[in-house]
Each structure stands twice: as C-alpha cells, then as structure tokens.
Amino acid sequence: MGSGQLVAVFGAYGHTGRFVIAELAARGFVPVPSGRNAQAVHEVADELGLAARVASADDPVSLDRALAGTTAVINCAGPFASTTGPVIEAALRAKIPYLDVAAELEANLDTFAHYRDRAQEAGAVIIPAMAFFGGLGDLLATAAMGDWTKADEAHIAYALSNWHPTTGTRLSGAVSRERRGDVRLRYRGGQWEQSTDAAPTLRWTFPQPMGSREVIGEFTMADVVTISEHLSISDVTTYMTAEAVRDVAAPHTPAPAATNANGRSDQTFLVHVIVRSGGAERRATASGQDIYAITAPLVVEALGRVLTGRTKTIGVASAGEIFDALDFLHALTPHIALDVHPHTT
C-alpha cells in the first residue's frame, strides 16, 4: 500500500509511536523515526533497520531536516501542547499532510482555532486526534448520524477493562490540568462551557454482555472536540467507566504490559455511541483490544486515504469530516468488532 513512501513519525520511541512505526512498515511505508531523544530514536531505528532523524520541537531547522523528502508526518509526541504547533508549522513548510494522535483537549482546540484558515488557504491537510480518543468516537458518531444533518445530543461512553497509562498519557494529563486548573470543559447548547463542580457519577447501560456499569459523566475527551467541529449536535458528552478513571488517576498504576508478540496489552475496550434527535435514536458500537495499539491502524489508515485522495475536504478536519466514516470503520474490522445502526429506533 505504501509503495516505499517515507513517513516521518515524530515521537517514534514512545509507546504509541512504536505501534505506529510497526503499522506503517506492515503497510509498505518506510517509517522515518524522529524525536528529540537521540539515543531513543536511534534505538528504535536500529531495531528495524531504519534511518533515524533527531529533531526537537523547539528547533525548526531540525524539524525541517526530519521532514525532508517525506510524504507526510505523524506526530506521536506528547505533551502535544508543546509539539503540535511546531510540527504543524514544519509540515506546512514542507507542504506535506500532518496527522497527530493527540488526546489533549486544549491542543486539539488550538489546532482547529489556529490553523483552520491557514490550512485552507494552503490547500493543506491537518488531522488532529486521529486516534482512539478523538478519531474512533468521531467516526462512530458520524456513521450513526447517517442521513441526519443535525441532532440534539450525542453520547460516547467508554468501557475499559483497565487503564494502565503510558508515560505520555501521564505527561499530557498533567499539562492539561495545569492549563485548566480546577475548571472542567463540557459542550452544551452548541458551545463550550466551563464548570468547577465535580463530574457526575451515574450508571450507563452498555450492550450485553457488559450491561450496566458505573461511569463518570462529562469525562470530556477529544471526541467532544472533533465531533463538535463538524457535526451539528447541540450537546456532546463522553463517559468513562469508573474503574478506568480510578486506574488512570492513581499515581502507582503501572504502564501497559505487553501480552503478545505484537506488544498489545490485555486491556479491552468498548465504545458505545448514541445520537438522539427529537424522539429518535441511532447507535454505533466498536470493541477491541488495547486503546494505544488500536491508534496505529486508525492513523495509518487515515494516512493511506489522504495520500490516495480518498478525502472529502482540505484544511484542519476531524476523521468523520474528511473521510467516509462508515467505509473507514469497515476497513478497521480486522482490528475492531463493529455494530452500526444509522437508522431511527
């Protein structure tokens, strides 16, 4: 599929970056590992017989060297508040597509706000949050919408068997908390709101055999950004199983541990999406293994579609806006179990 095209991966030595490198290679691309940690970049490159390119987000010249001759760049380096802007700027200079796997709300919002006009004018493609958080929920919500042009509310509920956070997840979470302080973000009435009260705890009924589970409501993730940027839905809310929230919040929860040769952990996930308009309701569900590992086929499938012109728009765009959502999801069926009902119930 990749036909030997060079693809820069910034943050290649991180947990998710390594999955992305492997997925690129499996699809015929030639990954170009990059990042600021010279030793780590060279270790990843040497393992796979690739050429490393050391670069830092605060050194534009090094980023230009890292992207030279590549057809696209995938940014896997968090905290994304520090890397997104510089790597997008480098991609614009190189005139190549940019994709990232950022789950940081602030970084995603900044990308849409700061680069929407410039990317349109340049005819560039910039896809933020093309990952488990952001991309998958957006594709599911878009597919569930079907022929609806607007809806009253969208709910995206996550059931994780556990959530052992990577170092990158912890760093990104710390940066987001530092930027927000005690304020939570939520999307109501077609606009962003700030709240200082505690997120609600409630019950969510997932498809069987999972059934009713305790969840944290208004656990606002990147999907709320990506969905609200292109779908006309008044209220967008995400939920997370309470056990997973406790895992990721606990300081001593270990990092993910590989349980097979591909490096996947034994974590399982289920994403349950409900979209409502008036008295009508539409649903979509996806399940699979390892939220970090599933990000790799998501972002690499997106890259392949961008490079082969299977897109619906240019500029800064979320997954559901730029791709045929249902077709994209079906392309992921080797990696996820899918159940979409884009009709009224």
**Coil/strand/helix, residue 267:** coil
What CA–CA distance (Å, rounded) separates 226 from 340? 19
What CA–CA distance (Å, rounded) separates 109 from 130? 14
What CA–CA distance (Å, rounded) separates 168 from 12? 12
19, 120: one domain? yes
Q: What are phi and psi of 87, to 5 degrees?
A: -75, -35
What CA–CA distance (Å, rounded) separates 77 from 19? 13
**Per-residue pLDDT tens over the stretch 75-93:** 999 999 999 999 999 999 9
Mean pLDDT of 38-62: 96
pLDDT tier for residue 344 given thresholds of 50, 70 and 90: low
Query: Which domain covers residue 77, as residue numbers?
Result: 6-131+296-322
Query: Is residue 329 domain-resident?
Result: no
171, 220: one domain? yes
* Alpha-carbon distance values, 321 to 110, 204, 339 (Å): 18, 28, 20
**Regarding beta strands 315-316 and 125-127, do their DSSP bridges make them parallel or antiparallel, or are they unpaired?**
parallel
What is the number of residues in the chain?
345
**Per-residue pLDDT tens over the stretch 258-315:** 999 889 999 999 999 999 999 999 999 999 999 999 999 999 999 999 999 999 999 9
Mean pLDDT of 94-106: 96
159, 286: one domain? yes
Edge-to-edge strand ranges of the sheet holding 315-316: 53-54, 30-35, 6-10, 72-75, 98-100, 125-127, 315-316
114, 218: one domain? no
153, 286: one domain? yes
113, 193: one domain? no
**Coil/strand/helix, residue 234:** strand
Whose structure tokens read 């996930």? 269
pLDDT value at residue 263: 93
Beta bridge partners of 31: 7
Q: What is the pTM of this model?
A: 0.96
Looking up residue 91, the CATH number of its domain turns out to be 3.40.50.720
Do residues 99 and 36 lie in contact, with contact meaning Cβ atoms separated by under 8 Å? no
**Per-residue pLDDT tens over the stretch 211-258:** 999 999 999 999 999 999 999 999 999 999 999 999 999 999 999 999
127, 186: one domain? no
Beta bridge partners of 236: 154, 187
Do residues 104 and 172 lie in contact, with contact meaning Cβ atoms separated by under 8 Å? yes
16, 113: one domain? yes
Please name the residues in contact with 113: beta carbons below 8 A apart, sequence gap of 6 or more.
none
**Coil/strand/helix, residue 127:** strand
235, 139: one domain? yes
CB atoms within 10 A of CB 130: 31
Looking up residue 138, the CATH number of its domain turns out to be 3.30.360.10
Query: Is residue 37 domain-resident?
Result: yes
Report the domain count for the chain: 2
Query: Is residue 28 domain-resident?
Result: yes
Query: Is residue 171 domain-resident?
Result: yes
**Coil/strand/helix, residue 278:** coil
**Coil/strand/helix, residue 58:** coil
Do residues 63 and 25 lie in contact, with contact meaning Cβ atoms separated by under 8 Å? no
The two three-digit tokens of residue 259, written as one number: 């349980």
Q: What is the DSSP letter of 289?
A: E
Query: Is residue 327 domain-resident?
Result: no
154, 274: one domain? yes
Query: Is residue 1 domain-resident?
Result: no
